[in-house]
Structure 1
Amino acid sequence: MKERGRVIQAFEIFLNRREAGAVISIVFLFTLFTLKNPAFLSLPVIQTILVNGAWIGMLATGQSYTLASGEFDLSVESVFGLAALLFVVFTESISIYASFLLATLIAAGFGFINGLLVTKAEINSLIATLGMLFFGRGIIYLISRGFIRSLSTSTKSSFLPQMLAGAIGGGWSALIIWMIALAIVFEIILFYTKFGNHILAVGSNAESSLSRGISPGLTKWKAFLLCSTIAGFAGMTAASELISVSADLGNGMALKSIAACVIGGCSLRGGRASVIGAVLGAIFLSSLSSGLILMGAPPYSFISFVGLALIGGVMLNKFLLPFLRKKTLPINQVSDFKS
Structure 2
Amino acid sequence: MTTLTQAGTASRGNALRRFNHLVFVKIGVLPLILVAACLFFATQSSEFLSGDNIQNVARQSVYLVIVALAQMVALVVGGLDLSVGSAMALASVVGATVMAAVFAAFPDAPGLAIAAGMGAGCLSGIAVGALNGFGISQFRVPPFMMTLGTSSIVFGLTLFITGGTPVYGMPGDFGEVFGFGSLLGIPVPVLFALVLIVALYLVMNWTRFGRHIYATGGNARAAELSGIRTARVQFACYLMVGVITAIAGLLLTARLDTGEANLGADMPLQSIAACVIAGVSLSGGQGRVGAVVLGALFINLVQNGMNLIGIGAYTQTIVLGVLLILAVMADRIRQRVILAGNN
Superposition TM-score, scaled by structure 1 size: 0.85
User: Distance in 1 between the 2:187 and 2:169 partners?
Assistant: 19
Quote the residue 2:125 is aligned against: 107
Quote the residue 1:226 is aligned against: 240
Quote the residue 1:63 is aligned against: 71
Quote the residue 1:26 is aligned against: 34
Quote the residue 1:87 is aligned against: 95
**Percent of residue pairs bearing the same amino acid type:** 26
Aligned to 1:272, the other structure's residue is in SS state coil
CA contact (8 A) 1:85 1:140 kept: yes
Q: 2:151 aligns with which of 120, 123, 133?
A: 133
Quote the residue 2:134 is aligned against: 116
Quote the residue 1:6 is aligned against: none
CA contact (8 A) 2:253 2:260 kept: no
Quote the residue 2:84 is aligned against: 76
User: Distance in 2 between the 1:257 and 1:307 partners?
Assistant: 12
Q: Deviation per CA, 1:20-48, whole angstroms, max 9, x where unpaired?
A: 33222221111110011121001111122
Number of aligned positions between the proteins: 312
Q: 1:203 aligns with which of 217, 220, 234?
A: 217
> Displacement of 1:318 after TM fit?
4.5
Aligned to 2:182, the other structure's residue is in SS state strand
> Displacement of 1:150 after TM fit?
2.1
Quote the residue 1:191 is aligned against: 205
> Displacement of 1:70 after TM fit?
0.4
Q: Which runs of 5+ in 1 are unaligned?
A: 1-8, 327-339
User: Distance in 2 between the 1:211 and 1:87 partners?
Assistant: 42
The one-letter code sitting in structure 2 at the alignment partner of 1:83 is: A
Change (3 A) 1:183 1:254: same
1:268 aligns with 2:282: yes
Q: Deviation per CA, 1:193-228, whole angstroms, max 9, x where unpaired?
A: 101100000001111111111011110111100001
Quote the residue 1:247 is aligned against: 261
> Displacement of 1:299 after TM fit?
2.1
Quote the residue 2:59 is aligned against: 51
User: Distance in 2 between the 1:255 and 1:111 partners?
Assistant: 18
The one-letter code sitting in structure 2 at the alignment partner of 1:33 is: F
> Displacement of 1:310 after TM fit?
1.5
> Displacement of 1:163 after TM fit?
4.4
Q: 2:172 aligns with which of 143, 156, 159?
A: 156
The one-letter code sitting in structure 1 at the alignment partner of 2:310 is: G
The one-letter code sitting in structure 2 at the alignment partner of 1:147 is: T
User: Distance in 2 between the 1:109 and 1:35 partners?
Assistant: 47
> Displacement of 1:231 after TM fit?
0.4
Q: Deviation per CA, 1:78-111, whole angstroms, max 9, x where unpaired?
A: 1101101111110122222122112211210111
User: Distance in 2 between the 1:286 and 1:31 partners?
Assistant: 15
CA contact (8 A) 1:22 1:263 kept: yes
CA contact (8 A) 1:57 1:283 kept: yes
User: Distance in 2 between the 1:211 and 1:321 partners?
Assistant: 25
Quote the residue 1:329 is aligned against: none
User: Distance in 1 between the 2:181 and 2:33 partners?
Assistant: 29
The one-letter code sitting in structure 1 at the alignment partner of 2:125 is: A
- Greater RCO, CA 8 A, separation 6+: 1
The one-letter code sitting in structure 2 at the alignment partner of 1:64 is: M
1:306 aligns with 2:317: no
The one-letter code sitting in structure 1 at the alignment partner of 2:124 is: I
User: Distance in 1 between the 2:297 and 2:166 partners?
Assistant: 28
CA contact (8 A) 2:100 2:168 kept: no
The one-letter code sitting in structure 2 at the alignment partner of 1:156 is: G
The one-letter code sitting in structure 2 at the alignment partner of 1:283 is: L
Give the alignment's Cα RMSD to 1 decimal: 2.6
User: Distance in 2 between the 1:16 and 1:145 partners?
Assistant: 49
User: Distance in 1 between the 2:217 and 2:306 partners?
Assistant: 36
User: Distance in 1 between the 2:335 and 2:47 partners?
Assistant: 30
Q: Which runs of 5+ in 2 are unaligned?
A: 1-17, 103-112
Q: Which has the higher Rg, Structure 1 or Structure 2?
A: 2
Superposition TM-score, scaled by structure 2 size: 0.84
User: Distance in 1 between the 2:92 and 2:190 partners?
Assistant: 18
Aligned to 1:23, the other structure's residue is in SS state helix
CA contact (8 A) 1:184 1:276 kept: no
The one-letter code sitting in structure 2 at the alignment partner of 1:146 is: G
User: Distance in 2 between the 1:190 and 1:151 partners?
Assistant: 39
> Displacement of 1:302 after TM fit?
0.9
User: Distance in 2 between the 1:309 and 1:302 partners?
Assistant: 10
